[in-house]
Structure 1
Amino acid sequence: MHRGLKPLLAVAGVALVAGCAAPSEPQVTFYSHGRSVEVAPAQYCDPTGENCTTSPDAVGDLRVPERAPLQISVPGKVAETPWQVVFLYRGANGEELDGRSPVFAPDERHAYTLQLPPDGTRLEHVEVQQFSAVLTEGVDGGVDFGIGGSWVLNVQQQ
């Protein structure tokens, strides 16, 4: 091989490897009582709601004691868009209930502490939802934003 081509091929190989490295998808961190878990998105789309990847197995597991808070931390890539937290929990009588946080405006916050409502005893399932720029007609005549990203946590009991 010609001596002048070796450095050129080496540089081209490095550029090729660097060019193929896809940007990593943002991870959400869930924390409770000294333990945390980072969760990859179960679904993640570009801002237009296109080019989605899904990973149904991307579900975190974390033990959260009864009536205990759950802290959620989202990276800048999530916080720069509207997002919210939806959750399922058990009421004092064992009934399955659901709830949701307010929708957080872009760059409003990077963290949220989920405290169950007074009627709740046990958190069971949590999902962080990142809204996309896709609008659809709402059931009540308004508009709904599409979900562009979703991070899922199953809560383990003691």
Structure 2
Amino acid sequence: MKRVLAVLAAVAVLATALTAAMVWQLTRDHEPALPEISAYSRGESTRVGPYQFCDVIDPTDCMPAGQQGELEVDERDPVQLSVPSAIAEAPWRLLQVYEDPANTTESLFRPETRLAVTIPTVDPQRGRLTGIAVQLVTLVQDEAGEVFEIPHAEWSIRMVWR
């Protein structure tokens, strides 16, 4: 009986050690995943990571540029934009770009107020929507003492018209 208990104890210790080693191997050298936004229209969706992602304290310290997402759209179906709580917990800005970039609109959302936005693909005054961008902004001060916002993170989706 003592021999059986000793063998079971040895198996339990070995299984625990192997599990710990496997967890360590799977989690080492892994950076936390960056947030992704998603957009949906016409029964299709796209998820995209940041196009630009910089350090909040040093906005010149940026990761290499990411990819711009694409979403196929038409004039009937709006775009449903969703942002994760990792973005929505901070003030975030939505840019809507139209055929004439001078018609770009900007909306600022306060922390923890919005996880989703519905965006029409055609605006009567601005024309067709050509892209959207979600930005996290940082306040910076220049040498003259002026304070202004710059984006330290941006997610971008281009609209592809059918």
TM-score interval, smaller chain? 0.7 to 0.9
Gaps spanning 5+ residues in structure 1: where?
A: none
Task: Show structure 2 runs of 5+ residues with no match.
Answer: 1-9
| Aligned residue type for 2:124 | P
Shift of 1:118: 2.3
Residue 48 of structure 2 corresponds to residue 39 of structure 1: yes
Stretch deviating more after TM superposition (40-49 or 105-114): 40-49
Q: Output the CA distance in 1 between the equivalents of 2:62 and 2:101.
A: 31
The residue aligned with 2:64 is 54
The verdict on how the C-alpha distance between 1:96 and 1:106 changes in structure 2, with shifts beyond 3 A counting, is: closer
Picking from 108, 113, 137, the partner of 1:108 is 113
Picking from 129, 150, 155, the partner of 1:151 is 155
Q: Is 1:15–2:17 an aligned residue pair?
A: no
The Cα of 1:67 is off from its aligned counterpart by 6.2
TM-score (norm 1): 0.76
Relative contact order, CA 8 A, sep 6+: which one is greater? 1
Query: What is the root-mean-square deviation of aligned Cα atoms in Å?
Result: 3.0
State whether residues 64 and 123 of structure 1, in contact with CA within 8 Å, keep that contact through their aligned partners in structure 2. no
Compared with structure 1, are the counterparts of its residues 13 and 33 closer, same or farther at alpha carbon in structure 2 (3 Å cutoff)? closer
Partner deviation per Cα, 1:68-118 (whole Å, 9 max, x = no partner)? 42211000110011111112213xxxx554322321011111111223542
4+ residue runs of structure 1 moved beyond 3 angstroms? 6-14
| Larger helix percent | 2
Q: 1:15-47 CA distances to partner (integer Å, 9 max, x unpaired)?
A: 253232211010000111211100111112344
Which of 73, 79, 101 is the equivalent residue of 1:64? 73
TM-score scaled by length of structure 2: 0.74
